[in-house]
Amino acid sequence: MTVVRTAHRDGSGRRARTSRLGRRGTLRGARWIVRSDASRLVSIAAEFLEAEGFERRADGFADTLDSQGSEWSAAALEIGDEEGSRRGIWRSLFLDDLPIPLPRALHHVIPPTLVIVASRHVAKGVAELVVFPHASRRGDSDYSWAAGPRIARALEGITAAAGAEGAMLSHESLRALPDDGSPASQAVVRDVLGWL
**pLDDT tens-digit profile of 89-116?**
555 545 445 444 445 556 667 788 999 9
What is the reported pTM? 0.84
Residue 16: per-residue pLDDT: 66
CA–CA separation, 117 and 131 (whole Å): 5
Residue 18: per-residue pLDDT: 65
| 159 pLDDT above the threshold of 80 | yes
CA–CA separation, 155 and 162 (whole Å): 11
Residue 122: per-residue pLDDT: 96
Contact 137, 196 (CB under 8 A): yes
Residue 44: per-residue pLDDT: 96
Residue 25: per-residue pLDDT: 66
CB within 8 A of 76, min separation 6: which ones? 56, 57, 59, 61, 114, 115, 116, 117, 193
The residue-averaged pLDDT of 77-97 equals 63
Contact 110, 81 (CB under 8 A): yes
**Nearest Cα residue to 43 out of 127, 140, 123, 104:** 127
